[in-house]
Structure 1
Amino acid sequence: MSKSVNALLPELESYIKEHEKTDISVSQKSIDWQLDHSLKVINAVCKVTPQSDPSDFRPKFNFMGFILLSLGWFPRGKAKAPKAVVTDKTSEYELILQLKEAREGLKKFEQIQPKQFFEHPLFGHLNKKKTKQFLYTHTYHHLKIIREISKA
């Protein structure tokens, strides 16, 4: 896959200075929430995926997952983020630390085996390739929201 979540990190970083900005006509959540959530997801996935046992990988076709990941698009307002990847308020300093952790985690992620996996609550087991697709699509989804809030 040519699209890499690594390529999105510099743009995410560029919005840290605007982290307190919000526009409820775009989203109920501010830029800091969008950044924090995106980085928390990257960091959580990069932490759990290398711990998975490839022999436990059980691919299961999920039509919705196939379509959304193939399109590289998630609809807005349809999913609820798990509590583990949500906070109400995040400081600029915390966002910078999370960004650093994401860069390090993504480097380590590249070393995992192809059948190591991330278990997504809707899409099921995602192998390395599909996990990379998910991370890109998810981060890009939130980046589009951030761009709109920033323009307001």
Structure 2
Amino acid sequence: MSLEKLHLALTSLEEHIKNNSVSNSKISKSDIAWHIDHSLKVVNNVSLALQSSDPKTYKNNFSFLGKLFFTLGFFPRGKAKAPKHVRPPEVISKEDLISQVELAKANIDTIATLEKNAYFKHPLFGNVNTPRIYKFLSMHTNHHVKIIKDIMTK
């Protein structure tokens, strides 16, 4: 997946900021603001982890689960719990979402400048390096965009 697809996914998140307080307990325990905030925290934290990683220490330990989900092209719902550092706060303001979107757009543009083996450690997938990162971030962001769309329509 490409940088363009990731930009489109971020644009979709951005377009739903106006619906931040909408919720639908049949679809998700969390409201739209939570899904947007979490998705943006993942993009921004992963980008920072890539930038601060040491490519010389990269080991290709990409797990079977990672390969499976990357082949399928999506993540199943309700199977994983967000790590603490990418969980949204209790109160999420529209202003904070807007600033996180702007930061995410800037951060993903820096990924192309990184070494091939810049990486971050995913709790289930193992090390995810630069060649895999756009696909990972696109899949993760689109996972939450689909949930947001379902919250809006069901």
**Shorter-chain TM-score tier:** over 0.9
Q: Which runs of 5+ in 1 are unaligned?
A: none
Query: Per-residue deviation at 1:82?
Result: 0.6
1:60 correspondence with 2:61: yes
Give every structure 1 segment of 4 or more consecutive aligned residues whose post-TM-superposition deviation is greater than 6 Å. none
Query: Per-residue deviation at 1:89?
Result: 2.6
Partner of 1:121: 123
Amino acid at match of 1:17: K
Q: Is the 8 A contact 1:20 1:30 kept in 2?
A: yes
TM-score by length of 1: 0.95
Partner of 1:111: 113
Q: Is the 8 A contact 1:32 1:89 kept in 2?
A: no
In structure 2, how many angstroms separate the alpha carbons of the residues matched to 1:118 and 1:131? 9
In structure 2, how many angstroms separate the alpha carbons of the residues matched to 1:85 and 1:100? 17
How is 1:26-45 mapped onto 2 (pairs within 5 angstroms)? Answer: 26-45=27-46
Partner of 1:19: 20
CA RMSD of aligned residues (A): 1.2
Query: Per-residue deviation at 1:62?
Result: 1.3
Partner of 1:91: 93
Identity of aligned residues (%): 39
Deviation track 1:68-88 (CA, whole Å, cap 9, x = no partner) reads: 012111111110101111123
TM-score by length of 2: 0.94
Query: Per-residue deviation at 1:4?
Result: 2.7
